[in-house]
Structure 1
Amino acid sequence: MDVALEMARAFVADGITVVACTPHILPGLYANTGADILRRVEWLQGVLDDHAIPLRVVAGADNHMVPDFVAGLHSGHLLSLHNSRYVLVEPPHHNAPPRIEEFFFDLLAHGYVPVLTHPERLSWINQRYSAIEKLADAGVWMQITAGSVLGTFGRGARHWAERMLDEGRAHIFATDAHDVTKRPPQLSAALQMVADRVGRAEAENLFFVRPKGILLNEPPSALPMPVHRKPTNSATRADTTTAGRARGFWRIFQ
């Protein structure tokens, strides 16, 4: 709980007002369940309120790819983000799963919007980027980790994050924060760097508009979609207000 309170204060200090609590769910390794996560998030909100920390927490899960995934969502064992149509999906990190396209297309066919977590950090993205392209083009959302554009995860992750931004294949950003030391929230710094690259309007879509749409369970058709663009470094660099504008945004982050 001490770490949780430290993290909550760090989120608030970074201008974040809403956090999606998304523990991993993976049988045999992360034995979490949707029902238990919901109970614990409700309990955590009460503790934050008791400590007068102005942070709203909502429930979700970083759901790993498993058989009968849709059935798991229907039963409540797996969780979507804030009980919405948007669901985090984490593929294996080191090996591209066979028939990955079919897995995600099945989720789309059942009315969900899969959100693939940190594709830029997958070790197989170099060999299978075509799969990422197909998924994004089919309606799968891509969630980029803020630290990737800051260089926290190395040159490779930064390269792919920037490429996906330029190609219009990045939909939202997340902190993917784990603590306040090795993996702290770094969203406002990433927001400024992204605004420098793709412009402030699209940066706000990535950090505010689409995340808010997830909270409201709006369909993707009601939200602005990313577009392919060339990197823009000069037009927005003079704007020094973006990081400050992060404060007060109503956002949802991992």
Structure 2
Amino acid sequence: MIDLHSHILAFLDDGAEDIVTSIAMARIAVADGITHMACTPHIVPGKYENSTATILPAMHSLQVMLDAQSIPLRLTSGADVHIAPDLLDRLQAGDIPTLNHTRYFLLEPPHEILPPRLEEFAARLLEAGFVPIITHPERLSWAGRHFDVIQRLADLGCPLQLTADSLTGVFGPVARQLSERILREGRASFFASDAHGASWRKPVLSGAFALVAEQFGRQDAEQMFHHRPAAILSNAEPAEILPTLRTVSRGRARKSFAQRLVARVLGNE
């Protein structure tokens, strides 16, 4: 599996608190079946002033340590970018690292409020040749009230990245239900861990992979946990990244995992 959203780099944000934690996170990821991981520290003006100049050296340094300890995890560049007026300028200048130097980058909208003209902002980025991946829309507190915005962003051409722990229930029932809705509607491009540590919010994807395979089939799971992330890292055309609505036509996909589990226990499936 490929994990395109992690906070494994130490000292740069609210993720790994030290190098020991970074290495422990890498070991957990490998044990879970993750082979590649994007290092995506927050870039938040006035809070986490990260850039290519801080992220790339930290990534290369950690890779050297992992290689020295024979930990088979390949790191690649990226950032978890918050909305800012100069975002496009910084992307064009190379000051903000995209995922493996491609057109794709992680865009994290504000959690508490829906920013005005978010769709227009995304459209400008797309027109400039950058593809904003909307991170964990199921965890945005306004997403349930403004779900039409999430739908339109996906339809506009912005891939949606769900958090693996949302589907497994770690972030509560609302995040799980929104994850299932996005999956049922066929708008989820891929999953990532958004890992922040070795004892909480760990870099694990296998539980969510199993649920997606159970609900939608192994082929869809492989698309969301390997093929599409790999396509992003190779800078493939957006048509290879964006999902189709074909999964919503499957009768099996209309039931949540919990509903199917209950049906199985009752002998109805």
What TM-score do the two structures reach when normalised by structure 2? 0.84
Partner of 2:183: 165
Indicate the residue corresponding to 1:112 in structure 2.
Answer: 130
Matched AA of 1:120? E
1-structure distance, mates of 2:107, 2:38: 14
| Aligned amino acid, residue 124 of structure 2 | D
Contact 1:17-1:56 at 8 Å conserved across structures? yes
- Do residues 216 (structure 1) and 234 (structure 2) align? yes
**Unaligned segments of structure 1, at least 5 residues:** 238-254
Percent identical residues: 46
Shift of 1:76: 2.1
The 8 Å contact of residues 105 and 130 in structure 2, kept in 1 or not, is answered as yes
Q: Which residue of 1 aligns with 2:31?
A: 13
**Can you list the C-alpha shifts for 1:24-77, whole angstroms capped at 9, x where unaligned?**
001111121122101111111111111111110001000001002111111222
In the alignment, which residue of structure 2 is the partner of 1:34? 52
**1:1-254 equivalences in 2 (<5 Å):** 1-223=19-241, 225-228=243-246, 229=248, 230=250, 232=252
| Residues 154-207 of structure 1, C-alpha deviations (whole Å, 9 max, x = no match) | 000000000000001100100111111111122011100011112111111111
TM-score (normalizing by structure 1):
0.89
Matched-pair contact (CA < 8 Å) for 2:28–2:204: no
1:26 aligned partner, one-letter code: V
2:219 and 2:50 mapped to 1: Cα distance? 37
Determine if contact 1:22/1:60 at 8 Å carries over to the other structure: yes
* Alpha-carbon distance in structure 2 between the residues aligned to 1:133 and 1:149: 18
Partner-residue secondary structure (3-state), 2:188: coil
CA distance in 1, matches of 2:187, 2:223: 13
Partner SS state of residue 145, structure 2: helix
Residues 1:209 and 1:181: Cα distance change in structure 2 (over 3 Å): same
Are the equivalent residues in 2 in contact too, given 1:205–1:224 (CA < 8 A)? no
Deviations 1:90-126 (A, max 9, x none): 0100000000000101111111111000000000012
* Residues 47-56 or 215-224, more deviating: 215-224
Aligned counterparts of 1:73 and 1:111: Cα–Cα separation in 2: 10
Task: State the one-letter code of the partner of 1:212.
Answer: A
- In the TM superposition, what whole-angstrom CA distance separates every residue of 1:103-154 from its partner, at most 9, and x where no partner exists? 1011111111110000000000122111111110110000000000000000
CA contact (8 A) 2:189 2:242 kept: no
SS at match of 2:88: helix
Structure 1 184/220 Cα, relative in aligned 2: closer, same or farther at 3 Å? same
| Offset, 1:232 | 1.9
Is there any run of 5+ residues in structure 2 with no aligned partner, and where? 1-18, 258-269
Cα 1:8–1:169 shift into 2, 3 Å: same
Aligned residues: 236
